[in-house]
Structure 1
Amino acid sequence: MGTDSQLEQNQSMPKVDLLKDAGKLKFTDVVYMKRLEEQNLQRAKRVQGYRKSNNRLAFALALGVIGIYTYTIYSVKQEKFLDDFEEPEKTIEKAA
């Protein structure tokens, strides 16, 4: 049961406050934290760029779909070959 209680305790890690925990942190810990913050900021900027390009692509695809749909509706309205179509009369030939 000792490992289960340790796992439960490790489920939520305590947040670090730089002002309160300044005495507990080493200089290298602070340097690593700043380095990770910079890397996270760069990652966030990269993701933001991906999001913009994905939104542009989605907009372009939506415009393409709407264009194809409107063209199809327009071209079907122009077809008039079935308007003058008359059904042929059915003739029944009796075998003699």
Structure 2
Amino acid sequence: MGDSNYKPKINAGDQEPVLKQAELDYMKIIEQKNRERVQKLQQLGRRNKITGFAIGAGVFSIYLYSIFAVKQETFLDDFDEPAKIQQ
């Protein structure tokens, strides 16, 4: 089939890759920076949720206020229908 497109596997034998101390130190620095980045993103996510709930609560309260304010209107209750003209 299309097996010729794949590169052959490399047999490394029993040898494990050996990393230099500078490479290990660099990996530790990168891991620490990544942990700090994740913590900042988690804090930002929490603040975004709190802001979203606050805005949603404000919108919902304005909606409820407007519904109750319209229900209290009584100017149409006192409206008398005009007498119908009989022919």
**TM-score, shorter chain, exceeding 0.5:** yes
Name stretches of at least 5 consecutive residues in structure 1 with no aligned partner.
10-19, 90-96
Which residue of structure 1 lines up, in the alignment, with residue 41 of structure 2?
Answer: 47
- Identity, in percent, stands at 41
Aligned counterpart in structure 2 of residue 66 of structure 1, from 54, 60, 65: 60
Deviation at 1:66, TM superposition (A): 1.0
Deviation at 1:84, TM superposition (A): 2.3
> Runs in 1 of length 4+ with deviation above 3 angstroms?
86-89
Which residue of structure 1 lines up, in the alignment, with residue 12 of structure 2?
Answer: none
TM-score (norm 2): 0.70
Looking at structure 1, the residues matched to 35 and 42 of structure 2 have their Cα atoms a distance apart, in angstroms, of: 10
Secondary structure at 2:78's aligned position in 1?
coil
Deviation at 1:24, TM superposition (A): 2.5
Report how many aligned residue pairs link the two structures: 74
Please tell me the residue identity of whatever aligns with 1:37: E
TM-score (norm 1): 0.64
Name stretches of at least 5 consecutive residues in structure 2 with no aligned partner.
8-14
Superposition RMSD in Å: 2.5
Q: Do residues 56 (structure 1) and 44 (structure 2) align?
A: no
